[in-house]
Structure 1
Amino acid sequence: MLKPIYSLVLFLFLSNFSFAQNASEVNIIPKPKQVTLTSGNFQFNPETVFVAQSEEEKQAAQVLIERFKEAVGWELQMTTETKAGNSVQFEKSGGLENEAYELKINENGAIITASGASGFLYGIESLRQLLPSEIENIQQTTSEVAWKVPALTIKDAPRFQWRGLMLDVSRHFFKKEYILETIDRLAFLKMNTLHLHLVDDQGWRIEIKKYPKLTEIGAFRVDQEDKAWNSRSENDPEEKGTYGGFYTQEDIKEIVAYAQKKGVTVVPEVEMPAHVMSAIASYPWLACDDTPIAVPSGGIWPITDIFCPGKETTFEFLEDVLTEVMALFPSEYIHVGDDEATKTAWESCASCQELMVKEDLENVEELQSYFMKRIERFVNAKGRKIIGWDEILQGGLPPSATVMSWQGVEGGWEASKQGHDVIMTPTFPLYFDRYQGNPDYEPLAFDGEITLKDVYDFDPVLDSMSVAQAQHVLGAQANLWSEYIPTEAISEFKIYPRLAAVAEMDWTPKTATDWSDFSKRAQHLMKRFELMGIQYSKSSYAVTAAADMDLENRKIKIKLENEFPRAEIRYTLNAPLDASAKRYKTPIELKKTTQLQAAVFKDGKQMGDTLTQDFKFHKAAGKQIDYLTKPHKNYPGNNSSLINVLRGSKNFHDGQWQAWINDAMEVVIDLGQTEEVKSISLGTLENQGSGIYFPVEIMVLVSQDGENFKKASTFSRAYKANSSSELKDFRVDFKAKKARFIKVIAKNATDIPNRGNGFLFVDEILVE
């Protein structure tokens, strides 16, 4: 029997647990550090007043005042006089940390306590997320909504000081208005850093008064947007660029001032010594050989046109540029890039070699370190600090530099060991230019898939770090590189809802994070995104199908999944899909040609795209196949990949693809017995940006004995530029023939401009 004291404790625990479980309206992201629920609620009405004394309190109050005006039509008032009830009040407390806040709500109203502007703002944002989601409506709601918030106390503070998003505005330019919208959304998620990648090979995006050609020439490139990013031709330096744009210094001042009101620091990045072809196109003397070049329209690799450290004029230029940049951006940090520099020009440059002798530098890696240490001294002298990508470690890390670790987490681990601050931005899972789900249903992206759960599961502090190393982790940042982001709508699609996972990663104590709990709150948040007009991705609701082929028995087992726990998946076989479809519970077995459709449903409504997959049991399915030319070692699939009924996706790393590059594909299929055949279809992929091209010729030959083959038909097509990623079956028809063996030869594209030979990717050979 339990003793009375233990019985009482257990009763209180279970009571609190039960109450919390019923408080479904508490769906704040990022999850607060501490929430204590009490009974009752407070309801806003047209007479609710905001009591604010200081300017920072008034700015915070204005967030909700504007929301009520836009979503409801109310003109809520602000006063400096304390009100006894029906009010939202602010109290200043020096005892709280800079970004911490306390929010207390009872039936009379709410009180937000903080030590400064950020805390007041975050308190308001939490109060905002406690309101019904209709508060986010960008058009006035016509429904009757009870504007209630639950009675509770929140005590909250961030885990990390750096909670960021990087926007690459160089590869594709985003307008000032979009930057301002992004700042609003960062503040909504309690994120405090916007890193602007203002300079890269393909565009210089910030006005520099002393060097006007940087924007007259460097901000614009020849328009080749109809071609794949990595298949664009080299431009003539004499041809005027028309595609691009830049921010004036007045634009930058407006962006920075707006961000300051929202508790967001804007950190500029001025790349060096590489990723600067836009600067060299403007001023050729910045390079070692003074040769005129054009602003490139697409991908460049390796990056050999870089700044020359052997010329004193290069450092004069950079100091002038940084002086103007620092006058516009009051941030503590200035990002200076320092990544992906191919330094072959330095090795043959007389000025660089002379400098290396003078400074006793052994190699060009040490010359790069000299370059960055000199820039660091200049920036430090102005009272600022530099950040560099993790290549800044090469040749020796500048004394006070902060490292942004992108090539995995190793750079961050090493920098923290050396006593340097680090910001974790590893490609996986924080590069948002990757797909969020099945590439067949998403805009073109870089290779690979990074789901919402992948982001949420990452921890910036590694298990292998010591306590001292962990203290050097400033936080984490999502990066959106824009090679494949031509529009602001696609930018939004890539950022949301994954940014919410970064927000919680950076804010919430690790011990309080839980994917199941977050996924529930994320679904509420996505409803808010919809009302806010954000074109977010619904890939988290996507259904994925994992299929296994039993070749011997010619049957397939299909397992359906969704990343949200306990998702309601419904499916059909050879029938239209709706809410009445069968609910998925166990793997589905198929033995004949079938079209599968599946989707996630919630409360009778379909939540994401419909997964549609055709499983075609053709005559070659499960038969013997011999490879006369071997697939590329990086994309070997398996011995049955081309006749296993399972199809590949636009994610060419999904294991269903086999690839050839220097040799044509040549295979022989043994049907096991003589069959009448009249066509073959070759399942292929084209992604020219990744060097993958449709075949230019397909030849089909047939045989009874496997030795003597006769041509059945040939299909030919010319190479064509294609800027998208595309799946396509090429069908070759011929007069019906009796055959046991079928030889298929498919030739890949060769001599492609700026590429050479291209990959041929094949996932299935369908025989009919």
Structure 2
Amino acid sequence: MRSAKRMRAARRGLLLASLLAAAGGAHATGEPSIIPLPAQISMEQGSYTVTAAAAIHVPPGDRAAADAAHYLADLLARTRGLSLPVLDDASPSRRGNIVIRSDAAASVKQAEGYVLDVDAHGISIRARDAAGLFYGVVSAWQLLTPDGSRGAVTVPGMHVVDWPRFPWRGLMLDSARHFQQPAEIRQLLDAMAQHKLNVFHWHLTDDQGWRLEIRRYPALTQIGAWRQPPGGDGKPYGGYYTQAEVKDIVAYAAARHITIVPEIDMPGHAQAAVAAYPDLGVTGTRPAVSIDWGVNPYLFNVDDHTIGFLRNVLDEVMELFPSTFVHVGGDEAIKDQWQVSPAVQARMRSLGIKDEKALQSWFIEQMGQYLAKHGRRLIGWDEILEGGVPPSASVMSWRGTQGAIDAARLGHDVVLSPAPTLYLDNLQSRSGDEPSGRLSIQTLASVYAFETVSPALTAEQARHVLGAQANIWTEYLNATWQIQHAAFPRMDALAEAVWTPANERHFDDFMARLPAQFNRYRQLGIDYADSAFAVDMQGKRSRAGDRIAVALTAQAPAATIRYTTDGTEPGAGSTVYRAPFDIAPGTTVSAVTFADNGEPLARVRARRFDGRTMSSIDGSGMQACAGGDLGLRVPLLPDATSPAPVYNVDVMRSCWKIPQISLDGVSGIAVDGAWLARNYGLAHDAAKVVSRAARTSAGELEVHVDSCDGPMIASMPLPTGSAPGSTWRVAATWAAQAGSHDVCILSTAPIRGSLSAIGRVSFVSSVASDAAR
């Protein structure tokens, strides 16, 4: 067996080649492009070519092998164009075949493991259980799709013994904020299975929508599944999953060895439920289904009626979802309504509960005990630790990793899901072509580097770590293409973090295997992000202004960047970027990263460098002002599903800084912006929103230099008629400035109603000819 050290060295030598095919795609070279990387793999002599004449053999009556075989056959037909029959064979031979069989003696260390062998006679997959056979098939499929070619493929000889590091390898999808069709859910489940992820955490209820049909309480979906769009009387937005659809999805997931863990939020994030049944709430009044992202005030009541209602809901949830765990949320439940309710306070006194945090613990424990009576286990976000963690609870840590550490030390099972690292609604780069999301940049490398087990835990405490999952929150991910862009290929990084032994994980090896995965994404119609390989371009003008120095970078440091300056798209023979280069103003630079075999790894990025474009800065070039946070990139309309303009916003301060811009010869400014829906549930933070004195009814954009308290050099009245989704341009001139300055642009618009946002800032030259150069 080749040592792990030697194998890593070999893979580094093949960085970005990634098992790409030779001429015609029939022969593969290099190390196997399997993601996640197997626990043990040794390369052997020889190879085996799978052609259209091959077959997949399984022993008669081996149902697990037959299911795995049919899954492999289907995948190969769709992605390789190989239609291989599945044959029952009492004495299958590997000669000229793919053989899949259950084997109680397979030399794997634990459940879900498998053994895969390739030699000159064929391919063999063995496992002790059905999940192991399935994951062996997934690895075989990856070996058989090393490139984007169709037809015959040669696989190098190898011996693989593989098993997962953690039993909980998860992905959470938020269907409450934005609804996905059942077909979209199934596509995501397929992708999870192909990454050996086995827990789908399905966020089904929240303030903005109740998505699960509960037959006993039809208003939960008749009313709670629909909301009015922010800022208007448009068509109601929403949708829900019928119980028949849920049963179909659960069965679909189970066939791919994925357990669906439903989340029913309580005691907070309850506004949609209270909108349907006001008596569940504390005030007894009926709110609208919320349109505000964030933290809303509505809590469930704590009386016997509400507890009984939620237990009845859990009855139907347990009937639909056979998972051991049921997630009850428990996060962001601000206690204001409980604190001012005489009925709730009386209930606390009768129960002998000292404060509202302890009341939440009691509430969660009522649900935990009820689930336990039915053979289930409760899991909740780490806020359930506050007020004393209920004895029956397991904890999902999202506010960093400390919640998991604390819970594991107390003897509770934990799942790691920390923000921001494993929150896939965070952007992947600062590029202007990234879609909407949160602006805590989480690159492919940062997700890959996540370590599930904290060194602060002892070996005994670490046994309580079930695994990890990534979360896809959808406040700003309105459509499937955005969800896919957020998930892939960071899902690959997550998969390796929770499957592969820690000492076998190496980012450069991972990057070497990734291009083959991009080909599979294209075959499967997955709209993945190329952010890790995208080329960023920056230009700096000479003092004389007659030349521009252009620097090209990419997140993947070993990627080869090729570029052109003549208007053509770069190809495998184009100039390799090695250092910044000079161009004349008016030149368009096109660039893309390439694998060693000449295959592009990303879309071509192009930029024209002239006076106008270099003096124009979009949101990605702006920073937060002192004390502020450009924390969100939001779409023009909150529920837009098509690609649309996006805006980096600071909800609390409405302020943007452009660092160290030369104002030599600049006589003014033009700002392109928009009015956005101010649909944010800020709870106690609402009082922190900065209000500034305005001189006109809609407010102004003020331009200050050096700091936001520095000299104001321009003020531009904002347009009236601030309907969300409307765009505008304002401009101003100023007296001549000199030198480089930080430029601060702040809004004095009212803090009620629409939110003013900046999309692009253009500095206007005092020399007309300069702008056209």
Question: What TM-score comes out, normalization by structure 2 length?
Answer: 0.80
Question: In terms of Rg, which structure is larger?
Answer: 1
After superposition, the Cα gap between the structure-2 partners of 1:604 and 1:131, relative to the gap in structure 1 and judged at 3 Å, is: closer
- Whole-Å separation in 1 of the counterparts to 2:76 and 2:587: 52
Q: Deviations over 1:312-366 (max 9, x none)?
A: 1110001000011011111110000000011111111122111111122121111
SS at match of 1:209: coil
Aligned runs of 1:199-278 on 2, under 5 Å? 199-222=205-228, 224=229, 232-233=230-231, 242-278=236-272
SS at match of 2:592: strand
After superposition, the Cα gap between the structure-2 partners of 1:447 and 1:465, relative to the gap in structure 1 and judged at 3 Å, is: same
After superposition, the Cα gap between the structure-2 partners of 1:16 and 1:746, relative to the gap in structure 1 and judged at 3 Å, is: closer
SS at match of 2:293: coil
Structure 2 residue 157 is matched with structure 1 residue 151: yes
Structure 2 residue 205 is matched with structure 1 residue 196: no
Partner of 2:513: 521
Q: Deviations over 1:78-122 (max 9, x none)?
A: 204212332313132156421111112222222222111100101
After superposition, the Cα gap between the structure-2 partners of 1:430 and 1:661, relative to the gap in structure 1 and judged at 3 Å, is: closer
- The answer on whether the counterparts of 2:62 and 2:101 sit within 8 Å (CA) in structure 1 is no
| Paired residue type of 2:403 | G
After superposition, the Cα gap between the structure-2 partners of 1:590 and 1:404, relative to the gap in structure 1 and judged at 3 Å, is: farther
Partner of 1:55: 63
| Residues 19-28 or 169-178, more deviating | 19-28
Displacement of 1:612 in angstroms is 4.9
- Whole-Å separation in 2 of the counterparts to 1:479 and 1:659: 23
Structure 2 residue 275 is matched with structure 1 residue 281: yes
Displacement of 1:463 in angstroms is 2.6
- Whole-Å separation in 2 of the counterparts to 1:745 and 1:454: 31
| Residues 204-213 or 45-54, more deviating | 45-54
- Whole-Å separation in 1 of the counterparts to 2:187 and 2:167: 22
Displacement of 1:634 in angstroms is 2.6
- The answer on whether the counterparts of 1:69 and 1:76 sit within 8 Å (CA) in structure 2 is no
Displacement of 1:204 in angstroms is 0.9
Of 117, 125, 130, which residue of structure 2 is paired with 1:117? 130
Q: Deviations over 1:710-748 (max 9, x none)?
A: x99966533644559x9x9854479xx989899999772
Partner of 1:373: 365
Aligned runs of 1:348-363 on 2, under 5 Å? 348-363=340-355
- The answer on whether the counterparts of 1:748 and 1:760 sit within 8 Å (CA) in structure 2 is no
Partner of 2:101: 90
SS at match of 1:320: helix
- Whole-Å separation in 2 of the counterparts to 1:745 and 1:129: 51
SS at match of 1:434: coil
SS at match of 1:448: coil
Displacement of 1:253 in angstroms is 1.3
Partner of 1:227: none
Partner of 1:627: none
Of 65, 69, 74, which residue of structure 1 is paired with 2:73? 65
| Paired residue type of 2:274 | I
Displacement of 1:125 in angstroms is 0.8
| Paired residue type of 1:446 | R
| Paired residue type of 2:267 | P
Partner of 1:306: 299
After superposition, the Cα gap between the structure-2 partners of 1:759 and 1:680, relative to the gap in structure 1 and judged at 3 Å, is: closer
- Whole-Å separation in 2 of the counterparts to 1:246 and 1:596: 47
Structure 2 residue 161 is matched with structure 1 residue 166: no
SS at match of 2:378: strand
Displacement of 1:163 in angstroms is 0.3
- The answer on whether the counterparts of 1:516 and 1:565 sit within 8 Å (CA) in structure 2 is no
- The answer on whether the counterparts of 1:686 and 1:692 sit within 8 Å (CA) in structure 2 is no
- The answer on whether the counterparts of 2:648 and 2:757 sit within 8 Å (CA) in structure 1 is no
Q: Deviations over 1:38-89 (max 9, x none)?
A: 1222223424241233211111111122234444363513204212332313
SS at match of 1:523: helix
Displacement of 1:586 in angstroms is 2.5
After superposition, the Cα gap between the structure-2 partners of 1:733 and 1:375, relative to the gap in structure 1 and judged at 3 Å, is: same
| Paired residue type of 1:112 | I
SS at match of 1:41: strand
SS at match of 2:532: helix
- Asked which structure has the greater RCO (Cα within 8 Å, sep 6+), the reply is 2
Displacement of 1:614 in angstroms is 6.7
| Paired residue type of 2:495 | A
- The answer on whether the counterparts of 2:207 and 2:271 sit within 8 Å (CA) in structure 1 is yes
SS at match of 1:377: helix
- Whole-Å separation in 2 of the counterparts to 1:182 and 1:669: 44
- Whole-Å separation in 2 of the counterparts to 1:99 and 1:747: 56
Displacement of 1:32 in angstroms is 0.4
| Paired residue type of 2:103 | K
Partner of 1:751: 750
| Paired residue type of 1:193 | V
- The answer on whether the counterparts of 1:25 and 1:130 sit within 8 Å (CA) in structure 2 is no
Partner of 1:445: 437
SS at match of 2:420: helix
Structure 2 residue 493 is matched with structure 1 residue 501: yes
Partner of 1:5: none
- Whole-Å separation in 1 of the counterparts to 2:214 and 2:197: 29
| Paired residue type of 1:61 | A
What are the ranges of 5 or more consecutive residues in structure 1 without an aligned counterpart?
1-8, 225-231, 622-629, 637-648, 702-707
- Whole-Å separation in 2 of the counterparts to 1:198 and 1:663: 35
Aligned runs of 1:274-673 on 2, under 5 Å? 274-301=268-295, 303-309=296-302, 311-545=303-537, 559-571=551-563, 578-579=570-571, 582-587=575-580, 597-602=590-595, 603-604=597-598, 606-612=600-606, 632-634=626-628, 661=653
After superposition, the Cα gap between the structure-2 partners of 1:190 and 1:716, relative to the gap in structure 1 and judged at 3 Å, is: closer
Aligned runs of 1:668-707 on 2, under 5 Å? 679-682=668-671, 697=700
- The answer on whether the counterparts of 1:32 and 1:508 sit within 8 Å (CA) in structure 2 is yes
- The answer on whether the counterparts of 1:659 and 1:762 sit within 8 Å (CA) in structure 2 is no
- Whole-Å separation in 1 of the counterparts to 2:318 and 2:6: 56
After superposition, the Cα gap between the structure-2 partners of 1:686 and 1:573, relative to the gap in structure 1 and judged at 3 Å, is: farther
| Paired residue type of 1:380 | A
After superposition, the Cα gap between the structure-2 partners of 1:396 and 1:552, relative to the gap in structure 1 and judged at 3 Å, is: farther
Partner of 2:634: none
After superposition, the Cα gap between the structure-2 partners of 1:593 and 1:680, relative to the gap in structure 1 and judged at 3 Å, is: farther
| Paired residue type of 2:212 | I
| Paired residue type of 2:500 | T
SS at match of 2:404: helix
Q: Deviations over 1:195-243 (max 9, x none)?
A: 1001111111111111111111111222x2xxxxxxx24x9xxx99732
- The answer on whether the counterparts of 2:674 and 2:756 sit within 8 Å (CA) in structure 1 is no
SS at match of 1:539: coil
Structure 2 residue 143 is matched with structure 1 residue 130: yes
Displacement of 1:582 in angstroms is 3.7
SS at match of 1:541: coil
- Whole-Å separation in 2 of the counterparts to 1:692 and 1:598: 42
| Paired residue type of 2:260 | V
After superposition, the Cα gap between the structure-2 partners of 1:512 and 1:718, relative to the gap in structure 1 and judged at 3 Å, is: same
- Whole-Å separation in 1 of the counterparts to 2:374 and 2:37: 38
After superposition, the Cα gap between the structure-2 partners of 1:713 and 1:340, relative to the gap in structure 1 and judged at 3 Å, is: closer
- Whole-Å separation in 2 of the counterparts to 1:463 and 1:696: 52
After superposition, the Cα gap between the structure-2 partners of 1:454 and 1:699, relative to the gap in structure 1 and judged at 3 Å, is: closer
- Whole-Å separation in 2 of the counterparts to 1:664 and 1:262: 47
